[in-house]
Chain A
Amino acid sequence: MIPITPQILFFLETMLFASVVFMHIAKKNSGVIFLYAAQSLIIAIALFYSSLKEASLLLVVAAVATFLVKVIIVPYFFSGLIKKHRLQFSVSTYLNTPMTLIVLALLTAFSYSHFFGPLTILAPDKENALSLAIAMVLISIFLIINRKGALSQMVGILSLENAIVSFAYVAGLETTAGLQVGILFDIFIWVVIASVFASMIYRHFGSLNVSVLKHLKEE
């Protein structure tokens, strides 16, 4: 088998990082979902590669389950939501695009700073990939904060989960196959519940823009 060198890992991590950056820029909801599916596909391939390397059937099952849940089922759910409520375009952000890009640059610089630097002792030969994974964590959190659309917030949370999984993968902190399936099951249920809530928000407020949720303030 081709060994996964730190360069290959860095390349994969760069693609994951790029996917979150593009999520910030994407105007269409379908684009955000496509980026999430692409991001998840990279994670699933990496997990599948590990399972072959370990020659573990259980890990193969976990990788296939990751593919099914994150690349097929979750995007399918979200696409259904978009079609049902005709949500072609993502609602606005709190910061405009240039400001958003400046914040992304600052967050990336922060992840390479002395503050997070010592974390790279987890895998010193993959220092750059680890720093990018941390940047992906921060940028995913910013996606949840900056976007006003409920759907984008949901994708932001799922992207944060992918970022953490990719960090664990690069640092060699993978858990057992059973636990991976447990976490996936949790994510799947989360997506179902969050989608139901998104529909409820649409029904009650006529929009998925979370800035219209002001009933609690008014009470």
Chain B
Amino acid sequence: MALFLIIIIPLIASVASFFVKKDMRVLSFIAVSASFLELTATLVTVASVMDSGLYRLNGYFFVDALGAVIIMLVAVVGAMASWYSTGYLKLEVAKRIIGFSRVRQYFILLHLFLLAMFFAVMSTSPILTWIAIEATTLSTAFLISFYNKPSAIEAAWKYLMINSVGLLLGFFGTFLFLYPSIHAGFPGLISWHDMLSHASALDPFIARMAFIFILIGYGTKVGLVPMHTWLPDAHSKAPAPISSLLSGVLLNVAFLALLRFKSVVDVAIGPYFSRELLVFFGVISISVAAFIIFSQKSYKRLLAYSSIEHMGIVALGFGFGGAGAFAALLHMIYHALTKSVLFLSAGNILVKYGSTKIRNVKGVLTVLPVTGILFFIGFLAITGVPPFGTFVTEFSILSAGIKTHPTTVIITLSVLALVFVGFLRHVVSITFGNSDIPMAKGESGLDTIVPIMLLAALLIIVSFFIPASMRSLLHSATINY
């Protein structure tokens, strides 16, 4: 029942939003109530997975331990982003940046985006997962071009084209993975489980080729270098709550698909091949992002490049395997929460200062005291400063790889130091000092602050304390990696 609700609620919310006439309060009510109902249904599902290990709905949907972690992220960040959106869009309407029809379009697409992400995680079929991930591209393209500016349209076009090509290559890889099941005369919908059970029949060459296509395909969506070129543009042009979902959640959803294929290829040819590829793409993603972060001029692009860096860290963790995989999954959680805090805070800064340029934004701690503190907390967490959880996970990932990949670990450590220095330089400039132009002090409203505070509180709590049941869920989720 809970799985059915997770799928049906965003669908109903999207349709209901379509029929709302000129009342923003109704749209806001639908968005907040739907996302919190989704969160509740998700928590019920996750609790059930913790109890029994697997939760199914007919032959089409299932949630395993790994899926449970990801849907929890979708639901938590989705609920906070939806709530934040109500306040954020109200401010933009008040400033006459957008009108009611734009707001309605935003909420219709937001619910569809959430639906596609839930669907991608919970689908039993690799092809349905592919369709759902492609649907996330389609539902978000108009959200990226939301402000209808030439640069936003350009970013959305780039996003649409690059992701479509990438995902088609992933589609090709999926077909190659399906061949043992199809040749075994498997009737009907081939599930992840069927694919895994026929994995040993995969020809080693085809398994390698298929995984390379999958890595290029889903790696494009994850934002791994060199397939990342769409990401900084798309994430920086979208409205802040959408950026938080794109960066904090969607990347993890695509990574989940990659991991499901990884477990199949590992059965077929052993884990060495996929691990080495992940380590390679991980380290180049971290390195390229680090240098660009250092010289970045826009704080939204800074955060977008940081997502590339963190997906690189996650790839590195799964590449090292074992304890590294456990830490990588935990890192996904910390990154999702931290990046959401940062993007939503960036939204408040943008509304106040009207610019995404770092040089135009000074004294956020004075002008927007609460946002300033939250942004600074986010900065400390994203750069892996203790006591935040990212410090522990980055340390654990690098420890897991020190014996097998010492050079990679040393390179990573060096570029992580560069990331810290680069971030520090920009964040100090943004948060401290005084604004160049006189500005009214104070936050814009509770709706644009409370969701960020809740996310930050959750981040701090899970940095210090992970319940035993959650730890066990993470362990089950990563046992095969």
Interfacial residues, chain A to chain B (CB-CB below 8 A) = 118-119, 121-122, 137, 141, 144, 150, 153, 157, 160-161, 164, 167-168, 171-176, 178-179, 182-183, 186, 189-190, 193-194, 197, 200-201, 204-205, 210, 213, 215-216, 219
**Which residues of B, 124-158, contact A by the 8 Å Cβ criterion?**
125, 127-128, 131, 134-135, 138, 141-142, 145, 148-151, 153-158
Instruction: Please name 14 pairs of A and B residues whose Cβ atoms are closer than 8 Å in the assembled complex, sorted by A.
Output: A141-B165, A144-B165, A157-B168, A164-B172, A171-B179, A173-B176, A173-B182, A175-B127, A175-B178, A189-B135, A190-B134, A200-B148, A204-B150, A213-B154
A203: nearest residue on chain B (CB-CB)?
B153
Q: Knowing A144-B165, A157-B165, A213-B157 are in contact, say whether A182-B128 is a contact too (CB < 8 A).
A: yes
B233: nearest residue on chain A (CB-CB)?
A216
Interface pair B153/A167, CB less than 8 Å apart: no
Q: Does B88 contact A (CB under 8 A)?
A: no
Interface pair B160/A193, CB less than 8 Å apart: yes
Out of B127, B164, B233, name the residue touching A179 (CB < 8 Å). Answer: B127
Interface pair A157/B161, CB less than 8 Å apart: yes
Q: Does B205 contact A (CB under 8 A)?
A: yes
Q: Does B209 contact A (CB under 8 A)?
A: yes
Q: Does B203 contact A (CB under 8 A)?
A: yes
Q: Does B171 contact A (CB under 8 A)?
A: yes
Give the distance in Å from the alpha carbon of A71 to the alpha carbon of B214 in the complex: 29
Interface pair B179/A173, CB less than 8 Å apart: yes
Interface pair B175/A197, CB less than 8 Å apart: no
Interchain Cβ contacts within 8 Å, total number: 105
Give the distance in Å from the alpha carbon of A189 to the alpha carbon of B140 in the complex: 13
- CB-CB < 8 A to A179: which residues of B? 125, 127-128, 131, 189
Q: Does B438 contact A (CB under 8 A)?
A: no
Interface pair B127/A194, CB less than 8 Å apart: no
Q: Knowing A197-B160, A219-B298 are in contact, say whether A122-B206 is a contact too (CB < 8 A).
A: yes
Q: Return the CB mask of B184-215 against A: 1 if under 8 Å, else 0.
A: 00001110000000000001011001000000
A205: nearest residue on chain B (CB-CB)?
B150
- CB-CB < 8 A to A194: which residues of B? 160
- CB-CB < 8 A to B145: which residues of A? 197, 200
Interface pair A183/B127, CB less than 8 Å apart: yes
Q: Does B183 contact A (CB under 8 A)?
A: yes
Nearest-CB distance from A24 to chain B (Å)? 17
Q: Knowing A183-B127, A197-B156, A201-B157 are in contact, say whether A122-B179 is a contact too (CB < 8 A).
A: yes
Q: Knowing A179-B189, A197-B153 are in contact, say whether A160-B168 is a contact too (CB < 8 A).
A: yes
Give the distance in Å from the alpha carbon of A186 to the alpha carbon of B131 in the complex: 7
Interface pair A167/B172, CB less than 8 Å apart: yes
Interface pair A197/B157, CB less than 8 Å apart: yes
Interface pair B153/A200, CB less than 8 Å apart: yes
Q: Return the CB mask of B361-399 against A: 1 if under 8 Å, else 0.
A: 000000000000000000000000000000000000000
What is the interface of chain B mostly: helix, strand, loop, or mixed?
helix
Give the distance in Å from the alpha carbon of A197 to the alpha carbon of B138 in the complex: 11
Give the distance in Å from the alpha carbon of A158 to the alpha carbon of B203 in the complex: 29
Q: Knowing A179-B125, A193-B160, A197-B145 are in contact, say whether A121-B151 is a contact too (CB < 8 A).
A: no
By size class, the interface of chain B is: 35 or more
- CB-CB < 8 A to A167: which residues of B? 172, 175
- CB-CB < 8 A to B155: which residues of A? 216
- CB-CB < 8 A to B172: which residues of A? 137, 164, 167
- CB-CB < 8 A to A204: which residues of B? 150, 153
- CB-CB < 8 A to B171: which residues of A? 161, 164
Interface pair A186/B135, CB less than 8 Å apart: yes
**Which residues of B, 33-59, contact A by the 8 Å Cβ criterion?**
none
- CB-CB < 8 A to B233: which residues of A? 216
Given contacts A119-B176, A161-B168, 10 further A-B contacts (CB under 8 A): A119-B209, A122-B176, A144-B161, A179-B131, A189-B138, A190-B134, A197-B141, A201-B153, A213-B158, A219-B151
Give the distance in Å from the alpha carbon of A171 to the alpha carbon of B203 in the complex: 14
Nearest-CB distance from A149 to chain B (Å)? 12
Q: Knowing A161-B168, A175-B127 are in contact, say whether A215-B154 is a contact too (CB < 8 A).
A: yes
Give the distance in Å from the alpha carbon of A53 to the alpha carbon of B137 in the complex: 36
- CB-CB < 8 A to B190: which residues of A? 175
Nearest-CB distance from B135 to chain A (Å)? 7
Nearest-CB distance from A145 to chain B (Å)? 9
Interface pair A172/B183, CB less than 8 Å apart: yes
Q: Knowing A119-B206, A173-B179, A189-B138 are in contact, say whether A216-B189 is a contact too (CB < 8 A).
A: no
Give me the 3 closest cross-chain CB pairs, A-B, nearest first: A215-B151, A118-B205, A213-B154
Nearest-CB distance from B242 to chain A (Å)? 16
- CB-CB < 8 A to A178: which residues of B? 189
- CB-CB < 8 A to A205: which residues of B? 150
Interface pair A186/B134, CB less than 8 Å apart: yes
Nearest-CB distance from B120 to chain A (Å)? 12
Q: Return the CB mask of B229-252 against A: 1 if under 8 Å, else 0.
A: 000010000000000000000000
Nearest-CB distance from B296 to chain A (Å)? 12
A179: nearest residue on chain B (CB-CB)?
B127
Give the distance in Å from the alpha carbon of A153 to the alpha carbon of B182 in the complex: 32
Interface pair A183/B131, CB less than 8 Å apart: yes
Give the distance in Å from the alpha carbon of A186 to the alpha carbon of B136 in the complex: 11
Nearest-CB distance from B170 to chain A (Å)? 10
Give the distance in Å from the alpha carbon of A210 to the alpha carbon of B153 in the complex: 12
Q: Knowing A161-B168, A193-B141 are in contact, say whether A176-B189 is a contact too (CB < 8 A).
A: yes
Give the distance in Å from the alpha carbon of A133 to the alpha carbon of B453 in the complex: 53
Nearest-CB distance from A101 to chain B (Å)? 22
- CB-CB < 8 A to A157: which residues of B? 161, 164-165, 168
Give the distance in Å from the alpha carbon of A194 to the alpha carbon of B163 in the complex: 12
Give the distance in Å from the alpha carbon of A137 to the alpha carbon of B216 in the complex: 15
- CB-CB < 8 A to B179: which residues of A? 122, 171, 173
Give the distance in Å from the alpha carbon of A176 to the alpha carbon of B158 in the complex: 32
Give the distance in Å from the alpha carbon of A136 to the alpha carbon of B13 in the complex: 42
Nearest-CB distance from A193 to chain B (Å)? 5
Out of B157, B175, B188, B206, name the residue touching A176 (CB < 8 Å). Answer: B188
Q: Knowing A179-B189, A189-B138 are in contact, say whether A153-B183 is a contact too (CB < 8 A).
A: no
